[in-house]
Structure 1
Amino acid sequence: MKFTWGTGIALFYVLFVAALVFALVQSRKVDHSLVMEDYYQADIEYQSHYDKLANAKALPINLVISQELEKQVLNFQFPSDLGAIEGNILFYRPSDKDLDFQVAIRTDQANRLEVPTNGLTPGLWKVKVDWKAQGRSFYTEEVITL
């Protein structure tokens, strides 16, 4: 069989359509859900979030998040000079929103909080700490790997 221009053009179109069908099938396998359900509201509240970040950076002693592998806990050491702390800690899993959960901040006398990690799925987590002390709001975010 001789390879002519007509055969080449037909082969090109067949391969092009096959590539489009392959791309369509592959794109249907990807989860296109939004990272945040209410991203419009989150965009409106961005200035407040930025102010919380600036307040946290202005602290002389920052929030310290450390991991104790043998005890399977995360330690949160809040600045002790701020007094009573209130707020929430969001454990955000970028790969699966169903694993996200929140913990209310309840510190001891030394402004420390321990959160057990033995029930958490191993992998990458973003720890988002939104807290208040002395009438000011603060926000700290850290990436951890369990």
Structure 2
Amino acid sequence: MKINWGKGIAIAIALFMAFILYFVIKVQSDSKYDNDLVVEEYYKHDARFDEEMIRAQNAQDLVEKPTITNAENGVTIVFPAVFVPNKIKGKVSLYRPSNKKFDFEIPISISNPSLLIPKSNLVGGQWDLNIEWQYEGKEYLTKKTIYIK
């Protein structure tokens, strides 16, 4: 049987399509290749983007901003001294970009201006911190990326 150039091109295209299909099926079925969304309800999250920008601008407009330090015993968040600590309410969300199973939230309920997140709760690597807090009816949002060793 002789293969001319027309049949050769058709065979090459068919083999290429089979090759691509094999990898698509492999990536979709193998749990090693996790392709989850960063945010579960993406469209709801996107609809609230304007509110998020207002809260972030409120935090940016502060003269004294919360400070986030990475120490040996954990991550310390120190709120500005001008705020009464027990009037600060909100939550600290910690997101692990590489694995959503490690994500968690901590409510802000403090009696002194600092909040400690113990290192025992944090796996080494990159973490995205979102501090959503309120003081006397005004909402703030502070975001920072930290690296744990």
- Give TM-score scaled by structure 1 length: 0.84
The alignment yields a C-alpha RMSD, in angstroms, of: 2.2
1:105 to 2:96 alignment: no
In the alignment of these two chains, the number of paired residues is 143
Aligned to 2:67: 64
**Identical-residue share of aligned pairs (%):** 29
Q: Deviations over 1:39-60 (max 9, x none)?
A: 2322222221111001000000
Displacement after TM superposition at 1:16 (Å): 1.6
Displacement after TM superposition at 1:134 (Å): 2.5
3-state DSSP of counterpart to 1:35: coil
1:76 to 2:77 alignment: yes
2:133 to 124, 131, 138: 131
Displacement after TM superposition at 1:4 (Å): 4.6
Displacement after TM superposition at 1:3 (Å): 7.3
- Structure 2, unaligned runs of 5 or more: none
- Give TM-score scaled by structure 2 length: 0.82
Aligned to 1:88: 91
Displacement after TM superposition at 1:23 (Å): 3.0
- Structure 1, unaligned runs of 5 or more: none
